[in-house]
Amino acid sequence: MGKEYPFLEDTLGKKLEAGTSLSVYCLICKRTALLDVYELVRRFGPDQPCQHWDLLKIIYCHECRAAGRDDRNLQFTNHAVTPEQGRRNPSP
Ligand SMILES: [Zn+2]
């Protein structure tokens, strides 16, 4: 025990390489969504920073935005890679 490793990967590209995943929790509507890091890299590029405040700029809660509520009351959680998730095979 001892050291923690919060957000070792500070860009989306590094996260994708490390194979870690990311989920977002909306504090208002209490929904959790697993973010697709692979898709985020495609949309924002591998150099997109992925610290909490960076993600807040690019990610919002669709439900809350649609309902006209504050859509940035979000909490991000890093997940270590699991064997089942593993590496995704890019489709040809
Ligand atoms: Zn919401």
Does residue 32 lie in a domain region?
A: yes
Does residue 66 lie in a domain region?
A: yes
Note the pLDDT tens digit of each residue in 15-51: 999 988 899 999 999 999 999 999 999 999 999 999 9
Average pLDDT, rounded, for the chain: 86
Domain count across the chain? 1
Å from CA of 91 to ligand 1 middle:
31
Instruction: Give, for 49, the enclosing helix (H) or strand (E).
Output: none
Does residue 7 lie in a domain region?
A: no
pTM of the full predicted structure? 0.75
- Alpha-carbon torsion (42, 19, 4, 32), positive or negative: positive
Does residue 91 lie in a domain region?
A: no
For residue 54, give its domain range: 12-79
Does residue 62 lie in a domain region?
A: yes
Which residues are CB-neighbours of 41 under 8 A, at least 6 positions away?
Answer: 12, 13, 16, 48
Confidence class for position 64, pLDDT limits 50, 70, 90? very high
Does residue 87 lie in a domain region?
A: no
Does residue 71 lie in a domain region?
A: yes
Å from CA of 67 to ligand 1 middle:
9
Query: Which residues surround the ion ligand 1 when the cut-off is CB under 5 Å?
Result: 26, 28-29, 61, 63-64
Which residues are CB-neighbours of 60 under 8 A, at least 6 positions away?
Answer: 71, 72, 74
